[in-house]
Structure 1
């Protein structure tokens, strides 16, 4: 299993490459873009590990959610030429990442739990009351936007007033994306609850097409963009002050945080058993969220060979 990984999708025959933290992308003609989801796991603004099947899980799980939420927010997807690949509309990504949170949770420096523990009560344009406990449900879902760090830098907290005042988004754009984000989150929470899961928080990325229309981009409600807890174990964990059982990359993030300050220290090598466990978490997440059995695509000598074959029609002549 550990040999069937996709650490990168560098394909020289494809034009106009852009390599992100997790996705390797290629801009085509006619305002189209190929997005190849690799098995890289990113956290703390760096790559931590390569997780078998992760890219396929993310692509197929995002597909599930895109199809279930298209009535709320139109998205960038045109087709799926490979289990790890989306052919999408090329968008101009809005410079604000929309993070919606339903619980006082998180491990990163921009999470509301980290800031709350540090004594902050006013954050992202919201006022949180004193006396909240770790992982407690908020009275209502809130949006905690951050700047979109396109150059691999660190995202910074924002609020609605700053976003409009500085011109990052027009007021009409902010109103549209915030309304859609809250509606998407509500749909996600409802569907997750029906599957015995809690959608704790998530991030959305939006972009504009050549006509200025706002479309949902990237991914939606995957274990990379979202935090899921298992409903059955939440109450007991909350009472005991422990971390609820989860379906997200906090498995490795929490392991790292217990051993170092990931923003200052060298991160220890991730042990093989943690990589295997995380792969299983992604697969379990797919099956728990969708109710479908995950079927890994083992075509080709390697995942990259399979992807190259499936993308031949897009190769530059």
Structure 2
């Protein structure tokens, strides 16, 4: 699906994100449709990627189920390959980014000579992709438009974005989820390098929401060859959507003003779809089964599921 126009009884709100269409039902439940849209550099690219929505939704469902002993998650039902129905929460206005390795934004900051990221000190003498002595949390603001911004723990609490009590709990949940994510990845011969979590609150209960440990929200390395690559100063083999960003940069696009998205050929679109399916199978250890669902069938299935909840 590229976009949806569902007619759901009891609908009280609708939000279209870069990738997700979210329907609020009676201010209690949310129907999240994960589309095949793809974004990079905060821009939605002109062509969808077949089965991408299914990959993201099903990885998230598997990972949320594998972490539900750590804290509750928002999911009530996954009625369709690219649809999740769950509890509507008041979302905390920060994303909890956690990093196990000096990679990506952290490495670019480090390489520039800075040793503090989001108020967290990074050790001297590190190389790109080295493990931190302990995972670090580098939160960002959660922007509906434009770019998320780095922010420190102290600023979050001082600005009243999250109470001190809730933020301390979010930190504990973040580190526990990341630890579990790394354990799950290790079983698949992977290293969970960094990821982000979003949390919300319903009543007095904190829930982990949206997606976790997916190739869009996380970066994975292959464990095999990691040490050898580090010692030789070579790049690590990644499992993430970084390859899409790299292709865009090679073709002169980084989301800056005046730049145009390069033409996405059928060959490129199909190759991205195949990579997402490969990501699914590597991360979950399960065979991916392509499922095509019409909007009409999806609407009927969602209505029936909502009646049963």
Do Structure 1 and Structure 2 share a fold, with TM-score over 0.5?
A: yes
Which residue of 2 is the match for residue 235 of structure 1? 227
Structure 2 contact 281–287 (Cα < 8 Å) conserved: yes
- Is the counterpart of residue 203 in structure 1 residue 201 in structure 2? no
Which residue of 2 is the match for residue 307 of structure 1? 298
In structure 1, what is the Cα distance between the partners aligned to 2:52 and 2:123? 38
- Corresponding residue to 1:295 among 289, 293, 306: 289
Structure 1 contact 247–281 (Cα < 8 Å) conserved: no
- Corresponding residue to 1:189 among 182, 190, 198: 182
Structure 2 contact 32–85 (Cα < 8 Å) conserved: yes
In structure 2, what is the Cα distance between the partners aligned to 1:269 and 1:156? 29
Which residue of 1 is the match for residue 278 of structure 2? 284
How many Å apart are 1:30 and its aligned residue? Answer: 5.6
Matched residue pairs, number?
302
- Is the counterpart of residue 41 in structure 1 residue 33 in structure 2? no
In structure 1, what is the Cα distance between the partners aligned to 2:72 and 2:117? 30
- Is the counterpart of residue 26 in structure 1 residue 23 in structure 2? yes
Of stretches 37-46 and 240-249 in structure 1, the one that deviates more from structure 2 is 240-249
Structure 1 contact 10–24 (Cα < 8 Å) conserved: no
Matches within 5 A, 1:147-226: 147-150=141-144, 152-209=145-202, 211-226=203-218
Closer, same or farther: CA 149–187 of 1 in aligned 2, 3 Å: same
Structure 2 contact 37–44 (Cα < 8 Å) conserved: yes
Of stretches 265-274 and 64-73 in structure 1, the one that deviates more from structure 2 is 265-274
Matches within 5 A, 1:68-147: 68-106=66-104, 111-147=105-141
Describe the superposition over 1:187-238 as per-residue Cα deviations: whole angstroms up to 9, x where unpaired: 11011111101101000000011x1311000011011111111111423433
In structure 2, what is the Cα distance between the partners aligned to 1:242 and 1:277? 25
Which residue of 2 is the match for residue 10 of structure 1? 5
Q: Which runs of 5 or more structure 2 residues have no equivalent in the other structure? A: none
- Is the counterpart of residue 273 in structure 1 residue 267 in structure 2? yes
Question: What is the TM-score when the length of structure 2 is the normalising length?
Answer: 0.91
In structure 2, what is the Cα distance between the partners aligned to 1:11 and 1:234? 46
How many Å apart are 1:242 and its aligned residue? Answer: 3.8
Structure 2 contact 98–135 (Cα < 8 Å) conserved: yes
Query: What SS does the corresponding residue of 2:18 show, helix, strand or coil?
Result: coil
Describe the superposition over 1:73-108 as per-residue Cα deviations: whole angstroms up to 9, x where unpaired: 2110111121111111011110010000011112xx
Which residue of 2 is the match for residue 259 of structure 1? 251
Q: Which runs of 5 or more structure 1 residues have no equivalent in the other structure? A: 1-5
Closer, same or farther: CA 235–267 of 1 in aligned 2, 3 Å: farther
Question: What is the TM-score when the length of structure 1 is the normalising length?
Answer: 0.89
